[in-house]
Chain A
């Protein structure tokens, strides 16, 4: 692992990242993000009366 060339390691990381995104989209998580943003905005900052 440590002997890998930096570009190989970066490409490996890139593939892991893409796999995670695809898996998340496949599980229907993308539309949930918009709901989450609306939730955060409506809740407002923590600790503000």
Chain B
């Protein structure tokens, strides 16, 4: 179905994503520097081997403690202005997970245009609600008021999004549960006995059950809709899209002479961007949803697309 070079390109991109994943967990190799930097990716800072911070965790934590996250926002803006959402396509471990799932040969579903346009706004709502909540907590903290309100919020006071983060569930919570069961083999009977399992669910934190169910639903959706999380729900993607808008320095341009308007670029786009339509209208792929995965470039049978610096 796809040209050979496209398949080879997917292997190269996946390899780079794996290398990035190892670098993000550099502590596993014993390389832990004295300082770290936050990155615009959905990777939990609670992973014991993490050498970098998940930028959104830092933003939530800082604002809710009434401290402006200068460095984190600065890094987000610099990356958004130069590379756009490239980190979503090439570095983010949760993006890698979604890509790996989408490579499994299920028939992909194309979301209707109306539903797609509505759903892609949801991530901005997730971002807005998170910032609103940490903003309120931050103001209360700064004024030393509302302690009861903050206590009542519990988990959600300082990092309201993190308990919903499927990335943290996948990369931290599930490995911790597996390691707990592995170190206590007697716990295995819980899996085999439904009554014990129900009792366990009742006594455990309800958020834990919610997390696992939510991750399960998302993983199922990712089989049919590539990059479902990035497209519709990711607040980090929403923040990067807000900063880069349509104006990142790195963009994709079309050679009008070579292009035969076969729409292959639009069909392979994991973010369901109407690539050809945008290119025809604007001359360059100036779309805040573009994660610069470059699938369109390598899928083009006429080599009509290429990376360019915006003018």
Instruction: Please report A residues at the B interface, Cβ cutoff 8 Å.
Output: 5-7, 9-11, 13-14, 16-25, 27, 29-31, 33-34, 36-37, 40-41, 43-49
Q: How far is the CB of B180 from chain A (nearest CB, A)?
A: 9
Contact for B168 among A9, A19, A22, A45, CB less than 8 A = A45
* Smallest CB separation, A16 vs chain B (Å): 6
B207 at the interface (CB under 8 A from A): yes
Report chain B residues within 8 Å CB of A36: 45, 53, 58, 61
Given contacts A29-B71, A46-B207, contact A13 B77 (CB under 8 A): yes
**Bound: A39/B155 CA distance, A:** 15
Q: B247 to A33, Cβ gap below 8 A?
A: no
Total number of residue pairs linking A and B with CB closer than 8 Å = 134
- Distance, CA A9 to CA B169, complexed state (A): 38
Q: Given contacts A7-B310, A45-B172, A49-B204, is CB(A40)–CB(B71) below 8 Å? A: no
A31/B35 contact (C-beta < 8 A), A17-B81, A37-B45, A40-B45 known: yes
A27: which B residues are within 8 A, CB to CB? 70
With an 8 Å Cβ cutoff, the count of chain B residues facing the other chain is 56
**Chain B residue nearest in CB terms to A4:** B247
**B82 engages A14 (CB within 8 Å):** yes
Distance in angstroms from B61 CB to nearest chain A CB is 7
Across-interface contacts of A43 in B (CB, < 8 A):
46
* A40 CB contacts on chain B under 8 angstroms: 44-46, 50, 53, 57
List B contacts of A33 (CB < 8 A).
Answer: 35-38, 53, 58, 71
Task: Tell me which of A10, A20, A22, A49 contacts B205 (CB under 8 A).
Answer: A49
Per-position binary interface string of chain B over residues 199-219, scored 1 when its CB falls under 8 Å from any chain A CB and 0 otherwise = 000001101100100000000
Chain A residues with CB below 8 A from B50, complex form:
37, 40-41
Give the shortest distance, in Å, between B168 (CB) and chain A (any CB): 5
Residues of chain B within 8 A (CB-CB) of A23 are: 70, 74
Could you tell me which B residues sit within 8 Å of A by CB distance?
A: 34-38, 44-48, 50, 52-53, 57-58, 61, 69-82, 155, 159, 162-163, 168-169, 172-173, 176-177, 204-205, 207-208, 211, 243-249, 286, 309-311
Could you tell me the distance between the alpha carbons of A37 and B46 in the complex, rounded to whole angstroms?
Answer: 8
Complex A-B: 20 CB contacts under 8 Å: A5-B311, A6-B286, A9-B245, A10-B248, A14-B78, A14-B82, A14-B249, A17-B74, A20-B70, A20-B71, A29-B71, A31-B35, A33-B58, A34-B34, A34-B36, A36-B45, A37-B45, A44-B172, A45-B169, A46-B162
Task: For residue B103, give the distance in angstroms from its CB to the closest CB of chain A.
Answer: 28
Query: In the complex, which of the residues B44, B78, B173, B311 contacts A21, with contact meaning CB atoms closer than 8 Å?
Result: B78
B190 to A: closest C-beta gap in Å: 14
In the assembled complex, the Cα of A26 lies from the Cα of B249 at a distance in Å of 27
Residues of the B chain whose Cβ atoms lie less than 8 Å from the Cβ of A13? 77, 80-81, 243-244, 247
Which residues in A have their C-beta under 8 angstroms from that of B36?
33-34, 37
Distance to closest chain A CB from B81 (angstroms): 4
- A17-B46 contact, Cβ under 8 Å, with A5-B311, A33-B71, A34-B36: no
Please indicate which of the listed interface residues B57, B70, B172 has the most CB atoms of chain A within 10 Å of its own CB.
Answer: B70
Contacting residues, chain A, for B61 (C-beta < 8 A) = 36
